[in-house]
Amino acid sequence: MWEHSPLELKWLKREEFLGNLHTPAMGKSKKKEEAVFLRKKITLVRAFSLLIGSMVGSGIFISPKGVLKNSGNVGLSLVVWFACGILSMFGAWPANSAVVALAFGRYILEPFFAPCAAPLLAVKLVALLGYYIVLILNSWSVSWSARLQTILSIIKLAALTLIIVPGIMLLAKGHTENFQDAFNSQSMVLDKLPLAFYAGMFAYSGWFQTSFVREELVKPERNIPLAVIVSVITVIVGYMLTNVSYYTVLTATDVLASQAVAVSFAHRACRSLISMVPVLVSLSCFGTMNGGIFTFSRSVACRLRWTG
């Protein structure tokens, strides 16, 4: 058997030691450099805010007209709103970011051009500006974009409350005349009912956003279903009460003639809200854009991780 000299043995032990010292460490370092992951910064409250902020956008302030027009009467339109909320727990259609961005631009400029409509070019430029502000914010800090979403979600719920409270107060005083013959079969248009559902589902779109941020979500197996169920039920209750409030103050004819139901409601129910409604709606749209970009960027990152 080959025997090594003491000097050779010393040299071999040195090489073995250096090999053990460097090779695994380099491997671990390399693996750390190659591993790309997102830290778990999204709590249940932030997940809830993300969903509320994504769902409550321009839809509830605009869609009531489309739902009523294609359902035919007040009673069936309320059924459609409730059914859309239930369907959203099983599957919904994502909102078009361009539509939400344009709604943001139109509403934020409305106070400056009222009673005239804002120029289309100005609306597009402001919509683009808002979209890029959200984009930069999400690129800069996950924590700050998540905090902003929480704040905007609170503002959205406050906006719904400002519509719900005056209407429910009038309803409690006995103003139920607009609900007389709510299920009038003569005005029912069943052939257009799918369009009513389309308008309603647009207002609910966004419930699925937590699935895109699963990697960053704390306890995803518990918080994803919990956030979806709680947020969708909250939005269903909010939307139903908001529509009841609309119909307490406005007749079906008023809703169909309105370009923005929330603004028409403010004119009738509480004139002090007229200047606030466009601002609240634009902030709602801003929150929807923020939620959309926050989650869509994760799907792109996941795609790049698998392909690159």
On the question of pLDDT at 12 being above 50, the answer is no
Structure tokens at 8: 């050779």
**pLDDT tens-place string over residues 43-79:** 778 777 778 877 787 678 777 888 888 888 899 999 9
Cβ-based neighbours of 92, under 8 Å, separated by 6 or more: 201, 204, 205, 206, 207, 208
Confidence of residue 2 (pLDDT cuts 50, 70, 90): very low
Q: Which of 181-195, 235-249, 251-265 has the lowest mean pLDDT?
A: 181-195
DSSP calls for 208-220: GGGGGGGGGBSSH
Amino acid identity of residue 205, one-letter, is S
Q: Can you give the pLDDT at residue 39? A: 66
Q: Can you give the pLDDT at residue 139? A: 80
**pLDDT tens-place string over residues 125-153:** 998 898 888 888 878 877 788 788 888 88
State pTM to two decimals.
0.73
